[in-house]
Amino acid sequence: MLLRFSHLQLNSTDRDAMRKAGKFNAQLMDFLRPHVREGVDTGSINKLVHEYTLDHCHCPATLNYHGFPKSCCTSVNEVICHGIPGDYILKSGDIVNVDITSIVDGWFGDQSETFLIGEVSDDARGVTQCALDCLYLGIDSLQPNGRVSDIGDAIVREAQRLGYSVVREYVGHGLGTQFHQDPSIPHYPNRQARSERIPPGICFTIEPMINVGTRQTVLDKSDQWTVRTRDGKHSAQFEHTVLMTEQGPEILTTTKDGPFRGHKF
């Protein structure tokens, strides 16, 4: 049994700091919720994220992160992740993933949700439902010192049952005083994930990206950030920050108003 992440285990003070970061990030998501609607451009969503975060004396983590130019990610329809907010105006039939990460007193909170805009297709609704369900199935698969691969096993099982695919190139990650750190959290079961376990005190994200068609991805050559499905079909994602405790997984980014476990779109 490999517990190679033991050096990243958080003490009680650190855990409370992560809870504070997660709580603010969830508060920000609830603030954004009524603004993610038809007729709103994604740049306006970014502006709201930026101003709300600064008004609360915190920092938007994505801004200038390895050169990323905005304070959040907005990924529309076939965009899997890392969509750059801009002039695009949301219209009925779109789905959009809003991914926000906040730095609160040096600690990171990270989450995302996919929003349905107006009347959407069956494919759009179905893949969004699957992504939400896969998030919670991944969380519910966990126990102290359980295998990292338990997450991917649960996610792939559900996605394949419904005929969807799971993105492999982009994964969950450890979180703390760094944006991305160990452990890597793949949403499919690979050899490394089967050999690694998650002890209490480890904080990380689970963020399955589920595609209607192929799992294959394409990186936009012009901006070097936007990731799309190779076949142009829809992709959806949900993400939470999770702390492993001695009693099991604790979600740190639960919103007051968002879709919860069991929600039906």
Return the CATH number at 115. 3.90.230.10
Q: Could you give the count of Cα atoms lying within 13 Å of 146 in the half-sphere of its Cβ?
A: 20
pLDDT digits 0-9 by tens, 54-86: 999 999 999 999 999 999 999 999 999 999 999
User: Could you tell me if residue 245 is inside a domain?
Assistant: yes
User: Could you tell me if residue 257 is inside a domain?
Assistant: no
Check residue 7 and give its pLDDT. 83
Q: Are strands 165-166 and 209-211 parallel, antiparallel or unpaired?
A: antiparallel
User: Could you tell me if residue 258 is inside a domain?
Assistant: no
User: Could you tell me if residue 15 is inside a domain?
Assistant: yes
Q: Three-state SS for 11? A: coil
User: Could you tell me if residue 39 is inside a domain?
Assistant: yes
- The answer to whether 212 touches 236, Cβ cutoff 8 Å, is no
Q: Three-state SS for 105? A: coil
Stated as kind and residue range, the H or E segment containing 122 is: helix 122-140
- Helix axis angle for 42-55 and 12-32, nearest 10°, is 140
pLDDT digits 0-9 by tens, 234-254: 999 999 999 999 999 999 999
Q: Which residues of 188-202 are buried (b: 16+ CB within 10 A; e: fewer)?
A: bbeeebeebbbbbbb
- Domain housing 180: 6-251
pLDDT digits 0-9 by tens, 11-43: 999 999 999 999 999 999 999 999 999 999 999
What proportion of the chain, given as a percentage, has pLDDT over 90?
97
Give the count of domains, the chain. 1
Check residue 5 and give its pLDDT. 74
Arithmetic mean of pLDDT, 154-176: 98
User: Could you tell me if residue 262 is inside a domain?
Assistant: no
Indicate the pTM of the whole model: 0.97
User: Could you tell me if residue 102 is inside a domain?
Assistant: yes
C-alpha 144: how far from chain center:
22
User: Could you tell me if residue 256 is inside a domain?
Assistant: no
Residue 234 CA to residue 167 CA, distance in Å, equals 12
User: Does the pLDDT at position 4 exceed 80?
Assistant: no
User: Does the pLDDT at position 186 exceed 90?
Assistant: yes
Q: Three-state SS for 88? A: coil
